[in-house]
Amino acid sequence: MSAATGSDSGVGAALTPPPDVASPVRHPDAPAPGTLLGAHYDQCFGCGEGQLHGLHLEARAGEGVTVTAEFTVRPAHQGAPGLAHGGVLALALDETLGSLNWLLRVIAVTGRLETDFVRPVPVGATLHLEARCTGVAGRKIYGSAVGRIGGSDGPVAVRADSVFIEVKLEHFTKNGRPQEIKAALADPDQVKVARAFEVNP
Ligand SMILES: CCCCC/C=C\C/C=C\C/C=C\C/C=C\CCCC(=O)SCCNC(=O)CCNC(=O)[C@H](O)C(C)(C)COP(=O)(O)OP(=O)(O)OC[C@H]1O[C@@H](n2cnc3c(N)ncnc32)[C@H](O)[C@@H]1OP(=O)(O)O
């Protein structure tokens, strides 16, 4: 058992899909290409409207199992003077990759995220992100994402590979702080999101 992780689960697992990986399948009820996906949780630091300094990332469904997203770097997101913090950029990639859940109609959490920081991203710049699911193996969902600056065909500033792990709704209800879980379950909009994933809270 690793002291750093508390578990050996998945540690050292490659980000490259195994040979028996299946092609991702777009769920028949997935939002149509071009549809704005909206926040999965109002208090999410990546996409929630309720987080003052959050990224307010807006993701749209693409073709197949792909999404596009935009995020404009604000002064609250700095790591060095006038530049976005790397952790914030990793979050933008993570959130975009997580939005693939909407197209698969599966609830999954990030297990592993490997990020390349290719170019500095200044405050005021808009990061144009694109994520695609590259395969599914059991509960493991593989993905890749890039973020470009200066437009959706601009130079790559960041990129990432990820493995998300499918979980049940209980992952949140059992592990989350009770007061937020209670509030989420009492919020009809949140219940609607959970229903979209065909789970019954
Ligand atoms: C009321 C609340 C409502 C909530 C909302 C409802 C619906 C909305 C849901 C989704 C919304 C849509 C979009 C979401 C957008 C963005 C999301 C942001 C994503 C995040 O920001 S999320 C936070 C960070 N994230 C975590 O907080 C995870 C902490 N962690 C754990 O909770 C466990 O660690 C877990 C569950 C990951 C695994 O635990 P486990 O016991 O279930 O899994 P187990 O060990 O059985 O492994 C099964 C197979 O996965 C492989 N595997 C396991 N771990 C791996 C790893 N790390 N890397 C590579 N592979 C790994 C194994 O190797 C094995 O593979 P194999 O099958 O081949 O053996």
Chain segment 16-38, per-residue pLDDT in tens: 888 889 999 999 999 999 999 99
Chain segment 55-75, per-residue pLDDT in tens: 999 999 999 999 999 999 999
Q: Is ligand 1 within 6 A of the CB of residue 163?
A: yes
Closest ligand 1 atom to residue 7 Cα is 34
pLDDT at 174: 97
Q: How many angstroms does the Cα of residue 35 sit away from the middle of ligand 1?
A: 26
Q: Is ligand 1 within 6 A of the CB of residue 99?
A: yes
pLDDT at 1: 38
Question: In the chain, how long is the greatest CA-to-CA distance?
Answer: 46
Please report, for residues 49, 134, 136, the alpha-carbon distance to residue 43 in angstroms, rounded to integers and kept in the order given: 7, 29, 28
- Residues contacting residue 189 through CB under 8 Å, at least 6 positions apart: 42
Give 172-180's long-range contacts (Cβ < 8 A, gap of 24+). 173/201, 180/43
pLDDT at 108: 97
Q: How many angstroms does the Cα of residue 111 sit away from the middle of ligand 1?
A: 5
Domain residue spans of the chain? 58-194
Average pLDDT of span 121-132: 98
What ipTM was reported for this prediction? Answer: 0.96
Strand 156-166 with 140-149, pairing: antiparallel
Q: Using an 8 Å Cβ cutoff, are 69 and 95 in contact?
A: yes
Chain segment 162-190, per-residue pLDDT in tens: 999 999 999 999 999 999 999 999 999 99
The correct CATH number of 58-194 out of 3.10.129.10, 3.40.50.10240, 3.40.50.300, 3.40.50.2300 is 3.10.129.10
Strand, helix or coil for residue 152:
coil
The structure tokens 């929630």 sit at 48
